[in-house]
Structure 1
């Protein structure tokens, strides 16, 4: 693989990934499934609205994700690597982090309780990131949480995926298994002594077309890992596939025969959704904007994955979004027809960061009262206006009127830009009667005096019934 080949591959990849952040597939690349079970499960998916995402592994010890291993991405990925300038030694140190990873304060039951309290409906958990470290008891590699080199391997919770999946299911949450299709520890992907030498990039260290026998070993290895997860770890609702550069296209020849293994998995789990992110085609059942929200509603199933803090992995001095900020993000996503996956990186000792837990509890307290405006809803114009987020469920329309800060004054008269006729309007969470007046721009609501005193709420949620208005 010469320098020109590498440049072409990087250019082909560029629209999908910039500084570790994935773009998302266009609506034109989405392929509607033919399988009626998959279509039914997509409707289920659109009902859920809120996921808890977790990036966790040995890298939590150094506050950076595995992207620092890629030389080609070093200009941005290594900005927090301040302990060395010897990047070959850094790679060796990184791959040795398994020998010190010992999260003895890991309490999966507490994780699940916090998630349920936060109003989350499904979990997206990193079974394996790009570094290849497996958080389940795989038999394909010793580079795993139950491997003999990891001190945690003898702990009662050593098979992390098993215990996390089991307790989250017991709390009623569905399970999505995050799995990186790339594997930078595998000798079948980053093969030592190949064309690129020690100069690493996110793709393989060789050309799969020139070394097909080596690539086939990687494909078999990947299929075996996926099938372990799909066969031995209970019900999995979503296979959430990262590393969108691993694909078969005119420019990028990294065909892992994904369709073959997904269909094998569906023989065991026919309800399985596949999120082959940024690739498009029949196995990207929904698209996944990252750290962003589309400007307008999308006409395909989608899910924005956004961090509660500032990065995916745990960071000691991270700053976490408040409950108010999380509600605003959530309502913008849902009003545009998407789901929201909020990511928290657990600490290296196994605990969830206190700042993230505080924000999750604030979100959960709000969801406990106003969740009816989200769960099971669909889009409704005018969607999101900045201060108002509209959703609908049958003949019921919800308007979530958002306040940006606790310092914002609550006005006596609230204006809702909704032009369609309604039978009546109620304030969710209150029995107070509302004074309502139709205006040329929409609806003016006079709030009861009790809503004007005290701390500014995160939002007022109005419940409206479609129908001819009572004169």
Structure 2
């Protein structure tokens, strides 16, 4: 992921999404709605799905450190290196890259992940095929720095091409498939040329002074994305990270991290996107933070916009504290995950929840526990989650609103503060303007309900049924 420290405010349909330790998006006038009918249809289906699984996984899981970023010679909290992994920068890099020779995740079983994610209500998956460190979790022909290399012990395993195994398994279970791919590659000599030391996250030479080297990097990137979109079955989303690799003219000087980009880093997204669409008609392309034709939805990181946005968006948020595997990570309570889902969908977004596999190739048990608890809640409340859209007033007090796409049903979620869900004796909330209530139901309760309406206010007596994490009330129109 991109690590930034920008914190900016959000205004409805205007400036930016709110980010903490995340990534800033200017969405006022920068978003270009796709015109390809197949892309539009794919985006509509994706927006209906609401809930997806993100997975950051690589050799770095063996050290239990943040993904890739310790290789970056910037003095930031997330780039710090542990002395036991190398006394000097060069020694550290050598030891980090040598992790390839010990990476052997023999517990890898993508069906176990797919089963747990599907039960928890997830509908699509985005997997890190290659992060900034350049280690490919697929069988690329462009590099030997990959999981299928003979240098990697796991290469002898029948499931060594983990990207192909994950994509096939999740696709067979009905998931949309997303390929995360880092545009910058800190391993290849075409990006961090060994003639110069790297200075920061950016390319370490001037592409205008060395156009032949930059052309090799462009082709290297193009070829790897061509592999992913032509050799791995149907791919629905191409999720491109590393927004500093961008045309210089697109830099937003109001965003701190973009000010560090000093040279042209245009990799010709028209060529890449055109190829991807030829290989995968209708594929959603997400060129993060680069507004224009190839950012089909925006991706606030580790935070939620404060208000609804009128463009497609997705919050990518970790289940633990880190995107990558950290031993004994602090996993968010299921109540918090449910609340996050409700807030996101009430504002029109999708929730991409990251779970990081460990060095042996499996999740921590705590992650499975959360998914199992989510499964119970989603089984009861899924009708209020999927294929919904925003409706005013969006959020009032403890109540959050969504509607069915035909606007015949309004869903009202009740949340409560604290570690455990506090079910009120009475639910008191406003009805959206011009919505005539004919019938009320609480998902998970089969008995009679006692309710009344005065003007636009509903008072609903809480039934005897007890609910976990949140209550979903459905209003049916006359």
- TM-score, normalised via structure 2 length: 0.90
Distance in 2 between residues matched to 1:87 and 1:55, nearest whole Å = 24
Shift of 1:24: 2.4
SS in structure 1 of the partner of residue 373 of structure 2:
helix
**Which region of structure 1 is more displaced relative to structure 2, 242-251 or 153-162?**
242-251
1:249 maps to 248
Question: Judging changes above 3 Å, is the alpha-carbon distance between structure 1 residues 262 and 435 closer, same or farther for their aligned structure 2 residues?
Answer: same
Choose the corresponding residue for 1:352, options 351, 357, 363: 363
Q: Is the 8 A contact 2:421 2:469 kept in 1?
A: no
Q: Matched residue of 2:248: which SS?
A: coil
Q: Distance in 1 between matches of 2:288 and 2:432?
A: 37
* Separation (CA, whole Å) in 1 of partners of 2:112 and 2:7: 40
SS of equivalent to 1:381: coil
Equivalent residue, structure 2, for 1:3: none
Residue 286 of structure 1 pairs with residue 297 of structure 2: yes
1:107-142 CA deviation, whole Å, 9 max, x = no partner?
111111111111110000000000000000111100
Tell me if 1:313 matches 2:315. Answer: no
Cα distance in 2 between the residues matched to 1:148 and 1:413:
64
User: For 1:382, what is the secondary structure of its paired residue?
Assistant: coil
In the alignment, what sits opposite 1:265?
A: 276
Q: 1:363 to 1:80 in 2, by over 3 A?
A: farther
Shift of 1:441: 6.3
Taking only aligned residues, the RMSD between alpha carbons, in angstroms, comes to 2.2
Q: 1:25 touches 1:287 (CA, 8 Å); kept in 2?
A: no
In structure 2, C-alpha distance between the alignment counterparts of 1:386 and 1:67, rounded to whole Å: 39
Match of 1:180 among 168, 175, 182: 182
Which of 324, 334, 354 aligns to 2:335? It is 324
Change (3 A) 1:76 1:351: same
Q: Using the alignment, how far apart are the partners of 1:297 and 1:369 within structure 2? A: 25
Aligned counterpart, 1:299: 310
Tell me how far 1:357 sits from its aligned partner.
Answer: 1.2
Q: Secondary structure at the match of 1:165?
A: helix
Between 110-119 and 327-336, report the one with greater CA deviation.
110-119
Aligned equivalents of 2:429, 2:19: Cα separation in 1 = 38
SS in 2 for 1:201: coil
- The structural deviation recorded for 1:19 is 9.6
* Residues 40 and 408 of structure 1: CA distance in aligned 2, closer, same or farther (over 3 Å): closer
Structure 1 unaligned regions, length at least 5: 1-9
What is the DSSP-based 3-state SS (H/G/I as helix, E as strand, rest coil) of the residue aligned with 1:380? coil
Pick one of 97, 100, 115 that aligns with 1:98.
100
Match of 1:22 in 2: 23
| Deviations 1:217-254 (CA, angstroms, capped at 9, x unpaired) | 00000000000000100000000000000000236411
* 1:357-394 Cα deviation digits (max 9, x unpaired): 11111112111110110111111111123521211112
Residue 53 (structure 2) aligns with: 52
Name which of 170, 173, 184 aligns with 1:171.
Answer: 173
Q: CA, structure 1 residues 457+405, in 2 after alignment: closer, same or farther (shift >3 Å)?
A: farther
1:410 aligns with 2:423: yes
Distance 1:47 1:18 in 2: 24
Deviation readout 1:22-74 (Å, 9 max, x if unpaired): 222414210011212211221111101001000000001112211111112x3
Q: What is the count of residue pairs matched by the alignment? A: 449
Cα shift at 1:418 = 2.2
Of 355-364 and 396-405, more deviation after overlay is shown by 396-405
Which one is further off, 439-448 or 366-375?
439-448
Deviation at 1:191, TM superposition (A): 0.7
3-state SS, counterpart of residue 71 of structure 1: coil
- The residue aligned with 2:443 is 428
Contact 1:306 1:342 in 2 (8 A): yes
Determine if contact 1:102/1:151 at 8 Å carries over to the other structure: yes
Other structure's SS at 1:182 match: coil
Q: Does 1:35 align with 2:46?
A: no
Q: CA deviation at 1:419?
A: 4.4
Is the contact between residue 419 and residue 443 of structure 1 (CA under 8 Å) also seen in structure 2?
Answer: no
Contact 1:29 1:280 in 2 (8 A): yes
Inter-partner Cα distance in structure 2 for 1:119 and 1:94? 36
Equivalent residue in structure 2 for 1:466, among 447, 463, 477: 477
Is the alpha carbon distance of 1:258 and 1:407 closer, same or farther for their aligned partners in structure 2, counting shifts above 3 Å? closer
Quickly say closer, same or farther: Cα 1:246–1:461, change in 2 above 3 A.
same
Paired residues for 1:222-237 under 5 Å: 222-237=221-236
- C-alpha distance in structure 1 between counterparts of 2:353 and 2:231, whole Å: 27
2:453 is matched with 438
* Bigger shift: residues 438-447 or 261-270: 438-447
User: Is the contact between residue 19 and residue 77 of structure 1 (CA under 8 Å) also seen in structure 2?
Assistant: no
> What is the CA–CA distance in structure 2 between the aligned matches of 1:399 and 1:177, rounded to whole Å?
34
- Deviation string 1:172-213 (CA, Å, 9 cap, x unpaired) is 11100000000000010001113xx2x431111101111100
What is the deviation of 1:316? 0.4
**Contact 1:406 1:457 (C-alpha < 8 Å) held by counterparts:** no
SS in 2 for 1:389: strand
Greater displacement, 105-114 / 294-303: 105-114
Aligned residue number for residue 210 of structure 2: 211
- Distance change (3 Å), C-alpha of 1:409 and 1:69: closer
Q: 1:412 to 1:126 in 2, by over 3 A?
A: same
